Amino acid sequence: MIRFHRAAIAEGFEAEAHYAAESADVALRFREAMADGLAKIAASPFRWAQDEDGFRRYKLIGFPYLIFFEPQDDGIRVYAVAHGARKPGYWHGRAEERR
């Protein structure tokens, strides 16, 4: 099971809306890249690089976005859908909610 921090949900929708303003096709490709990334994370959560705080990241194919997540006993927790070149680590405060 994949659970999302509420802010990560908002970030995903905001990114999709940004691309939708450019093109419906680009927004669709972004949505598909997200779905593909989440499927890969769910299938093999320990495959992706881990940072010093224990978080893992998956880079969306074709987009400058990263999914920051953590495998947990009861599934996967997504903490952020972050643009790779903006405010690195801004979402780490969400880690306070770790179980």
pLDDT 10s digits, 37-75: 999 999 999 999 898 888 999 999 999 999 999 999 999
Q: Which of 2, 1, 5, 3 is nearest to 94 (CA)?
A: 5
- Domains of the chain with bracketed CATH: 2-97 (3.30.2310.20)
Please list, in sequence order, all residues whose beta carbon lies within 8 angstroms of the beta carbon of residue 68, skipping any fewer than 6 positions away.
8, 55, 56, 57, 78, 79, 80, 81, 82, 91
The answer on pLDDT for 99 being more than 70 is: no
What mean pLDDT do residues 17-27 have? 97
The model's pTM is 0.90
2: tokens are: 């994949």
Q: Is pLDDT larger for residue 53 or for residue 80?
A: 80
User: Element (H or E) spanning 15, and its range?
Assistant: helix 6-22
